[in-house]
Amino acid sequence: MPKRYSIEEVKQRIIDVLRQSDSGLSGIEIAERTGINRVTITKYLNILETMGIIRRRSMGPVNLWYVQYGRDLSSKDILELQQVYMDAIFTYDEDRARTILLNAIHSNLNPILLMSDVVIPTVNTAGELYARGRMSTMDLMLINNLAMESLDLIKFNASRVEVKRDAYAVFISMSEKGSRREAVEMKAASIAFYIKGWRPFLLGNVAPEAGLFLDIDMVRFINRIWRDKGKGIILLYISAAEEFAALNELIRSVKEKLEKSMLVIVGGRVMDRLESKDKEKGSDTGTGVVVGVGAKDTAYPYIDYYAMDIMKAVEWGEKMYRSLKF
């Protein structure tokens, strides 16, 4: 029986051998160096070309395959990268935007940093221009859609760490005026946890479904995730909330009904709506859980951590997971 390969495994093998060649390799050479038979390698070469990850150049009867690179990048280049990506997206140059991101990923730039400091700021800038009347609704919709496609590109080209045992993250927003900007931020957060080996569940905006039984529905959903599991961790990441009183009540009810403990992070545009005095109350308890000083006295005692960006959210989630003793 022929050996089965995952596309991630084959992609990594192909990229590894192509990175060692300046002039490109033929399909036969790639098959020999990867140890994968020619029929299988040809199929995956065509798939990766369609995805825009590799290119082909015809040399008579032979196709030479290569990875298209710009210059090598590092985290120091992130602001420049943000600008060139933004220029590509704002001019609707999808191919150029894809090449920019793939070059960054293949330069081993942190994919979560790409989302946090390149894609999301581009979406935020578009939102600000729209609010000032300098961008049309159609322009904004297209830019947000291109950003969503960029996130998919990052997800399926970034290397994922080994899947963690019993690590789950649920992503919701609670916004009566749910926007595409919030949807982009929420999706980026879920992909960030996915890359770190968590099992993400992206629910989206639950405000339209809010009712008397929303807390019960959420408890049932979380318990299904946790069914037959031992010790584990689940994070509820909330990206946007118009009414913090309703949010606080929902979290309180869910936490009280759950059979296991749940940690709650708020981030994204939630941070824009928090008054500075609430953010200033945050303090590290020593366990890594950030709450208001005197949790019972703060306005939102059921929120465990305020994340300024998805990098901070992931770092805190990882810290909480490492504290578990399996």
Which one of 21, 38, 66 terminates a domain? 66
Closest CA to 315 of 261, 235, 250: 235
Q: Are residues 174 and 149 in the same domain?
A: no
3-state secondary structure the chain: CCCCCCHHHHHHHHHHHHCCCCCCEEHHHHHHHHCCCHHHHHHHHHHHHHCCCCEEEEECCEEEEECCCCCCCCHHHHHHHHHHHHHHHHCCCHHHHHHHHHHHHHCCCCHHHHHHHHHHHHHHHHHHHHHCCCCCHHHHHHHHHHHHHHHHHHHHHCCCCCCCCCEEEEEEEECCCCCHHHHHHHHHHHHHHHHCCCEEEEEEECHHHCCCCHHHHHHHHHHHHHCCCCCCEEEEEEEEECCHHHHHHHHHHHHHHCCCCCEEEECCCHHHHCCHHHHHCEEECCCCCEEECCCCCCCCCCCCEECCCHHHHHHHHHHHHHCCCC
CATH number of the structural domain spanning residue 234: 3.40.50.280
Question: In this structure, are residues 233 and 320 in contact, taking their beta carbons and an 8 Å threshold?
Answer: yes
- Residue 262 in any domain: the answer is yes
Token duo for residue 257? 């009904």
Query: Structural domain tally of the chain?
Result: 3
- Residue 243 in any domain: the answer is yes
pLDDT of residue 290: 43
- Residue 285 in any domain: the answer is yes
- Residue 1 in any domain: the answer is no
pLDDT one-digit tens code per residue, 264-278: 888 766 555 554 434
CATH number of the structural domain spanning residue 85: 1.10.1240.10
- Residue 196 in any domain: the answer is yes
Rounded average pLDDT per 10-residue block, the chain, 326 residues: 69 82 86 89 85 78 75 67 93 91 84 94 94 94 96 92 90 74 89 95 80 83 76 74 70 83 76 48 41 42 84 92 78
Instruction: Classify residue 139 by burial, with Cβ atoms within 10 Å: 0-12, 13-18, 19+.
Output: middle
- Residue 149 in any domain: the answer is yes
Question: In this structure, are residues 239 and 267 in contact, taking their beta carbons and an 8 Å threshold?
Answer: yes
Question: In this structure, are residues 48 and 8 in contact, taking their beta carbons and an 8 Å threshold?
Answer: no
pLDDT one-digit tens code per residue, 185-223: 889 999 999 999 999 999 888 877 666 788 889 888 888
pLDDT of residue 74: 57
pLDDT of residue 288: 41
- Residue 228 in any domain: the answer is yes
Q: Are residues 318 and 172 in the same domain?
A: yes
pLDDT of residue 296: 34
- Residue 56 in any domain: the answer is yes
Question: Would you say how long the chain is, in residues?
Answer: 326
pTM: 0.75
- For residue 145, the enclosing domain spans 75-157
Q: Are residues 292 and 204 in the same domain?
A: yes
